[in-house]
Structure 1
Amino acid sequence: MTELSRAAPVSFNPATRTFTAIAATSTPVKRCDYHGDFNEVLAVSGNNIRLDRLASGRAPLLDGHAGGSVRNQIGIIRSARVDNGELLVDVELSDREDVAPIAADLAAGIIRNVSVGYRVHAAEESTEAGVRTITATDWEPFEVSLVPVGADPAAHVRSIEEPSLSTTTPATTDLVEADRARAATINELAQRAGLTDLGVEHIVAGTPVADFRILLLDAIVERDADGEIPPRRSAYHDSYDDPAFRIRAAGEAVYARLTPGHEPSEQARPFLGRTLLDLARDSLRIAGIRDLGFNPPTTIERALGTSDFPLILGDALGRTLRAAYAAAPSGLKLVGRKTTARDFRDKHRLQLSEAPRLEKVNEHGEFKHGGLVEAGETYKVVTYGKILSVSRQALVNDDLGAFADLARRMGQAAAATEAELLVDLLLANSGAGPTLHDSVNLFHATHKNLAAGAGNLGAPSVTTLSVGRTAMRKQVGLSGELIDVSPRWIVVPPELETTAEQVLATIAATKSDDINPFSGRLSLAVEPRLTSATAWYLTADPASVDGLEYAHLEGQEGVQIETRAGFDVDGVQIRARIDFGAGFVDHRGWWKNPGA
């Protein structure tokens, strides 16, 4: 009878490209989390499923849960309903040309397996005979997929005459349940052996489990003899048995509690809602330390001595810290060139002049030799850092507000440190800038990048901007040749921000004298740390003309943190560090107006 049921024509209608599928049932599916294996059960009833998305007529049918591109959507869910323990969906397949082979396999009954993508909002956990079961009591399906092997062996494209569970006889129900168990067992054995395709083949063929075990053993022996032993991978491609994976997932879950707008990944979801005390107990269990009824302070103290718990805290703090660091940019970083340094030694920047002018070749075909003039500026990366602490009391109290505040302040402090270093460099030598390799300050009459004369000074205006642009256009290279330098940014203190915005604003000109030649050509960078209320700067595009350059140590971009259990403090210590350096590698890309 089972074989006859499998041979029944599927419900796919080629004329309308529609079919009905069982998207989910309450069949237990084996999963794995940080506690180990468990059975996941989706409670399939009208009170447990949020059907708004599927019932809206807009939910997608995907190819193998691939949701990264609209090309992976091969159809649409027109309606959904629950029928006595089964989530049924009515599907319309796309008529795209690339979907035609899928339609043909559906019509032939080759493609049968279905899987649902969902999000769990609430669940209940129970243990019976040593087996954990987590039942999703409030869950929301948001897509349905056609798959080679589904997690739920009972989810499939329905046959034309396949009855609902509500109309099956007890005998038929027993056969259906037996076949579901057979498919689930074969699927599990095949996945554990890394021979998923073989499992699919024999699930469809109706092979009994006992026969499949023999076939599977033969296949393993044959494969091993050929030396083709694939690496074993879990269904998640990563495992909570991997400490690094578990730490990242738990750290992200804590970060999600710190940051309400963060959408946690699927790996982090098992840890959502767990307090710091819960995570501390997990770390003790994983470290092999028995929970002897420790009170919360003792649990936290013991957990700080494990390798996992401080690293979980560090991961969560690091995410918050880096977000705050990225949200506090420097005005001067906008106009500098970003690079990296391999080590802490002086970073040499060679500047090559424009190639010498080509000369006429004589009648004998003789080419004359030219040369390139080299000039070098150096700077190096230096380490800056500080150690802060989170008290044991804050950990026991699950005080995530203290965590978030500390991390944000550290991130902002790291960003401020870099910004102040750039400003200090620009304002060195009483605002004249650093001394370059030619023993002349960055801004100097010799470099022709410093405004002088009463008529050329003052706040940004069409007149003063024109003076700066002309000076930059007349810059020459190391060999005395003209080079293409044009202003791209205007850098101002906050006191001149409004003035600069007015100058750069587009003017609805009524006569030619009103046209602003700089509108749309310059971008504004405001640096609140500039000490002069009147001085401002023009800079070229750092991608085309050398000027300000800053670097992080290679592989250590931005702020880095390390955590450890405190020895001289009662809690956990966090060390924040940046490896950062900056320097001016040429004067030609910058021009300064000291102001009135």
Structure 2
Amino acid sequence: MTIHLRALTPRPKSLDQVSRTVEAIVSTGADTARPGFVERLDLRGADLSRLIGSAVLNAHRAGSIEDQLGVVEAAELRAEGLWVRIKFRSNDAAQSVLTDIGEGTLRGLSIGYTVAEWKETRDGERRIRTATRWTPLEVSIVPVPADAGAHFRAGEHQMEVETQTADQSANNGAVLTRAQTNAEIRSIAETAGLTRDWADAQIDAQAEPDAARAAAFAAMQTRSAQTQTRTTRAVITADNTDPAVIATRAGEAIFARSHPEHQLSEAARPWAWRSIGDVAREVLHLRGVSTLAMTSETLITRALHSTSDFPLILGDAVGRELRRAYAAPASGVRTLARQTTARDFRAKRSIMMGEASELEKVPEGGEFKNGTLDESAESYSLATFGKIFAISRQALVNDDLGAFTRVPAMMGTAAAVFEAAQLTAKVASNPAMSDAVAVFHADHGNLAATAELSVTSLSAARLAMRKQTGLSGALIDVVPKYLLVPPELETLGEQTLATIAATKTADANPFANLTLVVEPRLTSGTQWYVLADPATIDGLEYAYLEGAPGPQIETRAGFEVDGVQIKVRLDFGCGWIDHRGWYRVG
């Protein structure tokens, strides 16, 4: 009886001791058991941009440069799987590993990777998670590989055929049982990278191992013909020469790590899920700086002090977090003031035109008479407010995302609180206007004595606002829209404005259309305000420097502080433009 045996050669013929290189298949995408699920890698979704030039490690250890055995010189997807060419270092540890590989005593390979997108499926009772977008980061030489198909290559032909002849008597008449045959067929399918369904079909057909091997080779040839060999390159593209573009994309990716709900833009996806050290490495690569054998600490220090991109990236991530906190629900008074801009820091004057004189009849052939416009000027100016804080080098090396969330969020909240306090102070302090009369004053027709909040007192306030006149003495018909109260009057305000399903006219609530606004910074528990829509009539106004609304961020590599320094600047001002749109009781 002739028994044909086929086995992988233990000595990879692709090994070149002179150039210290060897070829390998580091992943076939095979199933790997994880706690609670089976993990698969879809090789078509691999982003190989980080793999070329990455480290080859000793069993995934990366604590020091001694753990690095070499680098990946080339990588591409082939029909067999993820192919790489490895170049080993010339030190004693790497040479020892290279010798063991050549002797066939060290065969295991593994990869380290990050996953950007998963696909969940089920196979009966098994939960399967397939990585559809993932990035290999390193290759490791290991004693026990998770992927049984990962191996050092023999050369262009992966299998060598060895034929041995032995008669049945030499094997004591042993004949493979059906169970042993089925196990052999499953082993053939796994080695050839074929599916479980293929193996089941061979077993159902009662195939012998020789016939299954022939079918496996035929299936592999068909698969090779149908699969186009390609090299995948996810490149961080050429607009990467612009530091502002790099900062926007990489900063968004860092922000998204702290906020998984954030939907990354397509332009930022190549930067997704990278650690701070990874971002520093990529920035140095883009600027032509070699990062071979650099530790995370060295990468970050070099990126901070030799490129402008890295501080900008960190500043963008911080700025996004600061703006997120700053854009939280605004204070009561801030929603009732009008936003505008100022071109510089000189006094900002808002001109309020008086009502045009009334129209006069023009007789046939007569002339139109000239009218006049009155004007009144109020002014305020911007001032600069700010603070500097630092993110330490230790926090960057530790990839501490909290440094990009806690402090910036507090600064953003502080900026919003500051603006609200400035605006509330303008309301509570009742400053004098250009006519030397306080904003809320009997001479302005917008101040009433203390009165309990009720339909009656609201009615009196509305009447007074309706009777307001402009600079020329003509009625301007101010329409109330908001009721502003301190927290002490919030419940009473809700009750007063509540819609009532009245059964008779006298019970109807005429103020149900007013909007209640509560400002906790108002210190008087008895004063309350009725005001018009700021879009229809001037009143309280605030401004930012033109082109710089809200808090602005600047970054630089720290000198006094070992890390990156971030300056938060706010150019802001506020003031009263007109008194006619507001009415105070109390």
Shorter-chain TM range is: 0.5 to 0.7
1:95 aligned residue: none
Q: C-alpha deviations, 1:201-242, integer Å up to 9, x for none?
A: xxxxxxxxxxxxxxxxxxxxxxxxxxxxxxxxx999864444
1:451 pairs with 448, 451, 461, which one? Answer: 448
1:170 deviation in Å? 9.3
DSSP 3-state at the match of 1:427: helix
Please give the TM-score of this superposition, normalised by the length of structure 2.
0.62
1:335–1:33 distance in 2 versus 1, CA, 3 Å: farther
1:265–1:463 distance in 2 versus 1, CA, 3 Å: same
1:124–1:509 distance in 2 versus 1, CA, 3 Å: same
1:529 aligned residue: 521
DSSP 3-state at the match of 2:435: coil
Is 1:378 aligned to 2:379, yes or no? yes
The 8 Å contact of residues 255 and 317 in structure 2, kept in 1 or not, is answered as yes
The 8 Å contact of residues 393 and 564 in structure 2, kept in 1 or not, is answered as yes
2:435 aligned residue: 438
1:477 aligned residue: 470
The 8 Å contact of residues 240 and 286 in structure 2, kept in 1 or not, is answered as no
1:176 deviation in Å? 6.2
Matches within 5 A, 1:58-97: none
Is 1:122 aligned to 2:114, yes or no? no
1:49–1:279 distance in 2 versus 1, CA, 3 Å: closer
2:581 aligned residue: 589
DSSP 3-state at the match of 1:332: helix
1:244 aligned residue: 244
2:317 aligned residue: 316
1:33–1:294 distance in 2 versus 1, CA, 3 Å: closer
1:417 aligned residue: 418
- 2:451 and 2:564 mapped to 1: Cα distance? 53
The 8 Å contact of residues 47 and 136 in structure 2, kept in 1 or not, is answered as no
1:578 aligned residue: 570
1:472 deviation in Å? 0.4
1:260–1:27 distance in 2 versus 1, CA, 3 Å: closer
1:270 aligned residue: 270
The 8 Å contact of residues 549 and 584 in structure 1, kept in 2 or not, is answered as yes
DSSP 3-state at the match of 2:313: helix
1:41–1:495 distance in 2 versus 1, CA, 3 Å: farther
Q: Report the residue type matching 2:459 in the other structure.
A: S
The 8 Å contact of residues 483 and 516 in structure 2, kept in 1 or not, is answered as yes
- 2:119 and 2:533 mapped to 1: Cα distance? 53
1:34–1:506 distance in 2 versus 1, CA, 3 Å: farther
1:300 deviation in Å? 2.9
2:280 aligned residue: 280
1:34–1:500 distance in 2 versus 1, CA, 3 Å: farther
- 1:41 and 1:268 mapped to 2: Cα distance? 28
Farther-moved stretch of structure 1 (383-392 vs 258-267): 258-267
1:378–1:508 distance in 2 versus 1, CA, 3 Å: same
1:427 aligned residue: 428
2:542 aligned residue: 550
1:175–1:593 distance in 2 versus 1, CA, 3 Å: same
- 2:80 and 2:383 mapped to 1: Cα distance? 58
1:26–1:322 distance in 2 versus 1, CA, 3 Å: closer
Q: Report the residue type matching 1:528 in the other structure.
A: P
Is 1:369 aligned to 2:373, yes or no? no
- 1:485 and 1:124 mapped to 2: Cα distance? 66
Farther-moved stretch of structure 1 (501-510 vs 299-308): 299-308
1:523 deviation in Å? 0.9
1:416 deviation in Å? 0.9
Cα RMSD for the two superposed structures: 3.8
1:411 deviation in Å? 0.3
1:499 aligned residue: 492
DSSP 3-state at the match of 1:441: coil
1:42–1:470 distance in 2 versus 1, CA, 3 Å: farther
1:357 aligned residue: 358
1:260 aligned residue: 260
1:365 deviation in Å? 2.2
1:502–1:38 distance in 2 versus 1, CA, 3 Å: farther
- 2:491 and 2:415 mapped to 1: Cα distance? 28
1:299–1:438 distance in 2 versus 1, CA, 3 Å: same
- 1:336 and 1:43 mapped to 2: Cα distance? 67
1:586 deviation in Å? 0.7
1:516 pairs with 505, 509, 519, which one? Answer: 509
- 2:554 and 2:51 mapped to 1: Cα distance? 24
1:123 deviation in Å? 4.0
Please give the TM-score of this superposition, normalised by the length of structure 1.
0.61
Q: C-alpha deviations, 1:488-529, integer Å up to 9, x for none?
A: 11111111111111111111213322211000x211211111
DSSP 3-state at the match of 2:344: coil
- 1:443 and 1:542 mapped to 2: Cα distance? 17
Structure 1: unaligned runs, 5 residues or longer:
1-24, 54-117, 128-165, 189-233
1:362 deviation in Å? 4.1
- 2:134 and 2:463 mapped to 1: Cα distance? 67
Q: Report the residue type matching 2:393 in the other structure.
A: R
1:357–1:38 distance in 2 versus 1, CA, 3 Å: farther
1:463 deviation in Å? 0.9
Q: Percent identity?
A: 51
1:506–1:52 distance in 2 versus 1, CA, 3 Å: farther
- 1:35 and 1:499 mapped to 2: Cα distance? 69
- 1:366 and 1:263 mapped to 2: Cα distance? 66
Farther-moved stretch of structure 1 (440-449 vs 290-299): 290-299
1:251 deviation in Å? 0.9
